[in-house]
Amino acid sequence: MKLPRPFGGRTHLDGRPRELAAFIALGAALSAAAVVGVSWAAGFGAVADRLRHVDARWLPLAVAAEVLAYVGYVLAYREVARVEDGPSLPHSRALALVATGFGVFIARGGFSVDLHAFRQEFVDDREARVRVLGLGALEYALLAPATCIVAILLLLDHVHQPGTGLTMPWAIAVPTGGVLALSALRLRDRLRGRHGWRDHLAQWLDSIHVIRQLFFKLEHAAGPIGTGIYWFGDIACLALCLRAFEGHFPSVAPLLIGYATGYALTRRTLPLAGAGAVEALLPFALLWTGTPLAAAVTAVLAYRIVNFWLPIVPAAFGLRSLRAAKPG
C-alpha cells in the first residue's frame, strides 16, 4: 500500500489566484518583449505586411495538430509512470498533469508538476526524481536522433542552408552523447547509494535505463509512440503556421533542424513554459534554415498562441482537478 508522501514547502497547488495571474502577466510581458524585439530586427513594415496577407484557413488545422500533440504526450506520460512496476495513472489524471505542466503559470517549469505528482505516486522519493528525468530524456530520445539523421543527410548533400553551423553540431553531438550515455549505464549500480554528484549521476543513468525499457518492451510501446505523436503534432502546428504566413509549406529537413535548434530546451523544461525564450530563439533558428525573418516571427507568434496561450484554459482546469484530488 502506497502512503501519501509529504511535500515540504508550497507548490503549484498552493498558488493563490493573484500569484497565478502575476505569472501569466510576466509570461505575457516576456513574450511581448521578445516578439517586439524580433519584429524590429525583421522590420515592422515587413511583419505588418505578413499579418495583412495571412491565409487564416490553416490556423484551425494548427490547433487540431496541437490537440494531437497533447494526446501523444498523455500516452507517453502514462508509460513513463507505469514502466518498471510503476503505477497506472488514470487517463484523466495524466491529462490534468500534462495540461497543468504546460501552463505559463507554473513558474518553475512543468517538470516541477511532474515531480510533485510522482512523489505522491511512489513510496521512494528517489524513484520519483528518476521518472521525471526519464520523462525529459524520452522527449529527446526521438527528436535528437531524428534531427541528427536529417543533419547528416543535409551534410552529405552539401546543402548550404541550413549551414554547417547548425547541422554539424547535431551530426556530431547526438551520436557521441548517445554512445557515452549507453556506455555509462554499467556504472549505475556502482554509483547508486552514494552521495553528492555520484548519486545525481546515478539517477540520470537510472532514467536512461527506464527509457530503454520503454523502447525494448512491447507492452510499453505507447511511450515512444506517444512521444512521436507529440513531436509530430507540435512540429505540424508550426508548419501549418508557417504555411499561413509564408504561402507555402517549409521543407521538412530544414524545418526539423530549425525547430530542434529553437527548442534546445523543451517548453516543459523551461520556467513559465519558455515565455520569451521561444519567441526570441525560434524565429532566428528558422531564419538560419531559410525562412524570411518576417514570416518566421509572425508564424512563431501564431504558433505560440496555439501551443502556449490557448492551453491556459485546459491548464487551469487541470490545476483545479489536481487541487480537488490533493490528499488532505
**Percentage of the chain lying above the pLDDT 70 cut:** 89
Contacts of residue 257, Cβ cutoff 8 Å, sequence gap at least 6: 147, 150, 151, 154, 162, 166, 167, 170, 285, 289
Tell me how far apart the terminal alpha carbons of the chain are, to the nearest angstrom: 17
**Percentage of the chain lying above the pLDDT 90 cut:** 45
In a domain, 5, yes or no: no
pLDDT per residue over 17-60, tens digit each? 788 888 889 889 999 999 999 999 999 999 999 999 999 999 99
Q: State the total domains in the chain.
A: 1
Domain that holds residue 126: 54-324
Q: How far is CA 23 from CA 166, 208, 320, in A?
A: 33, 33, 17
- CA gap 49, 160 in Å, rounded: 28
In a domain, 38, yes or no: no
Cell, residue 176: 557521441
In a domain, 178, yes or no: yes
In a domain, 212, yes or no: yes
In a domain, 292, yes or no: yes
pLDDT per residue over 135-194, tens digit each? 888 988 999 999 999 999 999 998 888 889 889 999 999 999 989 988 888 887 777 767
In the chain, the amino acid numbered 76 is: A
Exposed, middle or buried, 19 (CB in 10 Å: 0-12/13-18/19+)? Answer: middle
Note the helical H segments in the chain: 17-42, 44-52, 59-82, 91-101, 110-121, 125-156, 164-184, 188-191, 197-216, 222-246, 252-262, 277-288, 293-304, 312-324
Q: What's the pLDDT at 191?
A: 76
pLDDT per residue over 91-135, tens digit each? 888 888 888 877 766 666 666 777 777 777 765 778 888 888 888
Contacts of residue 43, Cβ cutoff 8 Å, sequence gap at least 6: 294
Cell, residue 250: 517549409
In a domain, 192, yes or no: yes
In a domain, 32, yes or no: no
Mean pLDDT lowest among 5-9, 204-208, 214-218, 235-239? 5-9
In a domain, 14, yes or no: no
